Amino acid sequence: MTATRSADAVVVGGGVIGAAIAYHLALAGLERVVVCEQSRIASQGATARSGGLLRLHHTTACDTRLTALSLPTFEQWGEVIGGDCGYRRTGFAMLVGEEHVAALRVNTAVAAEAMSYERVEVIDPDQAGTLFPGLDLAGVAAVAYEPSGGYADPAATATSLIAAARRIGVSEAEGTRVVRVLEREGAVTGVETSAGRIEAPLVVLTSGAWGAESAAHLGVEVPVVPRRIGLAQVALPGAGRRGSDNQLPTCIDDTIGSYFRPGGTDRFFFGVQSHPDVDLEQGAAPLTGDEVNAAVAAVSRRVPAVTSAPLVGTRAGYDGYTPDKRPVIGPAGPDGLYLALGFSGGGFKLAPAVAELAAREISEGEAVIGKAGEPLLEPYRPQRFANGNLITPEAPYAHI
């Protein structure tokens, strides 16, 4: 027979969001926080496969504000969290065509307001070409440039968060699947796991593409569907080296519908559009040659050197997607149940901010208000789908 344990909180899922929330719950004073991960920390879900792009630029002000709270943590990781998240400052460039220049200016102004004008500016393609000679900017009308943008290592980020959490009392239960959330008289009482029961008054579901399936029997329904997304890596000498003829930024290119970044000094990573068939039990199927070739064809319009660059590797993973491609964050169902999942391909950069805000509102019992007076997590509430309050971009592009 398996023993019953007890905790102040159970976090379900050991990706970057679960690791960050566990850390912040412990910082907020919860003494016994347990992270249940069905596999190993940061190995099964999106976090382990993520591109790790860090950028302020978004098309929705609520996303921009959250990112503005997150980025300083990545930049000062050693002092704030301890350890190394693999942050590399490469500069970030958002590329748009003529029809989206006005939107680019709107989104850049929102980003500047959320952080500062030193952080983001609109430059013309010639300036971008001088900064990053590896780019062919044909068809690009304007560029939003963030000198501090770049990338970090998502697996290192999650493991360093878990290490920091462990130092302040959090424990992990790896290889432990939460089968269902337990409830009595309208309040959470714990979880039933593959290794026995854990009693707890607070359960936080950070189960990514697996959504809220462990609470579905309680009537908690969120429209999160798993989607397979991919990344390919080629050898491109100088891609990440300052002053090189191949130097490239971390980039989202709306004109070709792709994103990419350097990796170290001599590698180059780019997004691969992936087929929608998923089987969560099987894990994400490897990218096919056709999928990678299509991505190479698209990205080589912007980075011509990719055409002849040797493929070094590919990876694919599942993330949970919602109808408005924004995460689900907040209380749902019985008292003591909190959701932070469905990050729809963009959760890595948000993790520090989401975790801090979620832990604060859980421990203080009220929503955290931003500097412009807005409750920062309010737009992301689980109830928005039933209420028809989906998040819509204020200044959209063709692809993001």
- The residue ranges that bind ligand FAD (CB under 6 A) are 12-18, 36-39, 44-47, 49-53, 154, 177-178, 206-210, 214, 229-231, 317, 319, 341, 343, 345-349
As measured in angstroms, the least distance from the Cβ of 225 to ligand FAD is 13
For residue 349, CA distances in Å to 77, 162, 282, 318 come to 13, 17, 27, 17
User: What tokens does 238 get?
Assistant: 């100088």
- Residue 280 exposed, middle or buried by CB count within 10 Å (0-12, 13-18, 19+): middle
Beta carbon nearer to ligand FAD, 68 or 125: 68
d(CA 143, CA 96): 7
Beta carbon nearer to ligand FAD, 125 or 202: 202
Beta carbon nearer to ligand FAD, 143 or 209: 209
Within 10 angstroms of residue 8's Cβ, the number of other Cβ atoms is 16
Nearest Cα residue to 220 out of 333, 339, 385, 335? 333
Beta carbon nearer to ligand FAD, 125 or 191: 191
d(CA 170, CA 166): 5
| Residue whose CB is nearest to ligand FAD in the complex, by number | 45
d(CA 87, CA 90): 9
Beta carbon nearer to ligand FAD, 55 or 125: 55
As measured in angstroms, the least distance from the Cβ of 288 to ligand FAD is 15
- State how beta strands 250-253 and 196-199 pair: unpaired
Beta carbon nearer to ligand FAD, 228 or 360: 228
As measured in angstroms, the least distance from the Cβ of 49 to ligand FAD is 4
As measured in angstroms, the least distance from the Cβ of 57 to ligand FAD is 12
Beta carbon nearer to ligand FAD, 36 or 400: 36
Secondary structure (H, E, C), 289-322? HHHHHHHHHHHCCCCHHHHHCCEEEEEEEEEEEC
Beta carbon nearer to ligand FAD, 145 or 259: 259
For residue 30, CA distances in Å to 13, 21, 25, 73, 78 come to 18, 11, 6, 22, 23
User: What tokens does 394 get?
Assistant: 């204020």
d(CA 70, CA 115): 11
Rounded to 5°, the CA angle 171-174-176 comes to 110
- The contacts of residue 8 (CB under 8 Å, 6+ apart) are 25, 30, 31, 32, 33, 200, 201, 202
Beta carbon nearer to ligand FAD, 104 or 205: 205
As measured in angstroms, the least distance from the Cβ of 386 to ligand FAD is 22
As measured in angstroms, the least distance from the Cβ of 229 to ligand FAD is 4
CB 347 within 8 A of CB 67: no
- The contacts of residue 198 (CB under 8 Å, 6+ apart) are 4, 5, 6, 7, 10, 34, 36, 173, 190, 191
Beta carbon nearer to ligand FAD, 36 or 292: 36
As measured in angstroms, the least distance from the Cβ of 203 to ligand FAD is 11
As measured in angstroms, the least distance from the Cβ of 154 to ligand FAD is 6
As measured in angstroms, the least distance from the Cβ of 132 to ligand FAD is 18
- The contacts of residue 256 (CB under 8 Å, 6+ apart) are 298, 299, 301, 302
As measured in angstroms, the least distance from the Cβ of 278 to ligand FAD is 12
